[in-house]
Structure 1
């Protein structure tokens, strides 16, 4: 049995690097409309001549901007079927101890790695419930 992805749409965070970029390529290969969210910019060739990919440069710790972008994507596509959150950072030296942690760095790591997961869930889950379909993966 082959899965049908006809008319499906996805959001990928951290979409310009590593797992996010590879995930985006796989989604597009399956003709899934994909919103790429990242603080970095994807290669120009990747966005050219592809009506299924949309890119927004964003610091996803900004809840209001994140919500606005996702709401607009939802309005245009009538669904958000998949959310793949690959955003994550680790800005510590290998040998750092709890005593040496700079709390401003720790706060940003916490915000990116944990808070954005809550932000994304809060924004996307109601849309998935409304459409009676949806899958989320937080990596």
Structure 2
């Protein structure tokens, strides 16, 4: 038996990268996974179903939620993974760059959770996993907008852990703060910089998407039944 047998999971940004790894890992443990993304799935996996969704589109999100509840009757797991970057030094950051990152990385998390969280409360069961970042904990030069959203996600995590279990409901909310993980986003970075990033970690290497997926699986499963309101850093012991 899989650790997520019978569970219905929604993973945003699930078409590739971390979202793909998380979706595939959940499916391998028996979950039905709806990988919501603006793009098509870049892979095929049994029990992972793509859904075109923009997390900034409130009307589209309501439609998505209604369709999933009508089809499956519930949502047990939500992974808020969708995110973008638009990097620049603060004095060069435009309003459009700031607003775009805030809308996707922070407001997008709120848009989905305000529908799915109360449904979990009503069902007395659920696990919400918010993907933050090492940058949300320590900041990073040229990423004021991204760092603000990822720090905000941690604040939302702690708040929702309190709100959604306020009367003892079995709804857990946690965050994962990845370090530098070898996704497509890092593949455009010169090797000498990647080597420098690796040297900033205690383990002297960059992370793999599967290592984030394993942390997400733990938080989604009953193995984490007494874990809520936490941010788990998966960064190889990174020092900034």
TM (normalized to structure 2)?
A: 0.51
What CA RMSD, in Å, does the superposition of the two structures yield over aligned residues?
1.7
Query: Gapped runs of 5+ residues in structure 2?
Result: 132-240
1:123 has 2:121 as partner: no
Quote the offset at 1:127 in angstroms. Answer: 1.1
CA distance in 1, matches of 2:106, 2:94: 18
Between the aligned partners of 2:26 and 2:16, the Cα distance in structure 1 is 15
What's the secondary structure of 1:11's corresponding residue?
A: strand
1:4 to partner: Cα distance = 4.4
Q: Which has the higher contact order (CA 8 A, sep 6+)?
A: 1
Q: Secondary structure at the match of 1:110?
A: helix
Match of 1:74 in 2: 69
Which residue in the other structure is 2:58 paired with?
Answer: 63
2:2 and 2:29 in contact (8 A); partners too: no
Larger C-alpha radius of gyration, 1 or 2? 2
* C-alpha distance in 1 between matches for 2:3 and 2:102: 37
With over 3 angstroms needed to count, the CA separation of the structure-2 counterparts of 1:120 and 1:138, relative to structure 1, is same
Q: What is the CA–CA distance in structure 2 between the aligned matches of 1:35 and 1:116, rounded to whole Å?
A: 17
2:55, 2:109 within 8 Å by CA — same for their partners in 1?
no
Shift of 1:73: 0.6
Q: CA deviation at 1:25?
A: 0.2
1:104 lines up with 2:103 in the alignment: no
CA shift, 1:17, in A, is 1.8
Aligned residues: 131
* Aligned: 1:133 with 2:125: yes
